[in-house]
Amino acid sequence: PCNPAILTLIGNAAEALHERGKWLGICGGVASDPQAVPILVGLGVDELSCSIPAIPSVKAAVRAYSLDTCKELAAKAVICSTPAEVRELVPLNEG
């Protein structure tokens, strides 16, 4: 779910939709992935739909970063070469 090419497409979709007054929602595994959430927010995703058990970790991921930081992470993510490089941008909080 953290493929840089897919993240680029998501960012492009968010930009195009926002220009037309529309919002972008993401669902499924990527919306429930705490490492992906800050990047998705930075790309302009407006809504995340995830399973009930994932809500606490997604909520924590949203609260952990400022919007400016999310945008910086997204800008770095789309120029990564691999999904592993993208994942290295957002460390897992094992705490």
In 1-93, where do the E strands start and end? 25-27, 47-49
Looking at residue 92, what is its pLDDT? 78
Whether the model clears a pTM of 0.75, i.e. scores above it, the answer is: yes
Phi, psi of 54 (to 5 degrees): -85, -15
Please, are residues 7 and 39 in contact by the beta-carbon 8 Å criterion?
Answer: yes
DSSP conformational letter for 79: T
What one-letter code names the amino acid at 80? C
Q: How far, in Å, CA of 32 to CA of 71, rounded?
A: 19
Which positions of the chain have pLDDT values less than 50? 94-95
Looking at residue 91, what is its pLDDT? 86
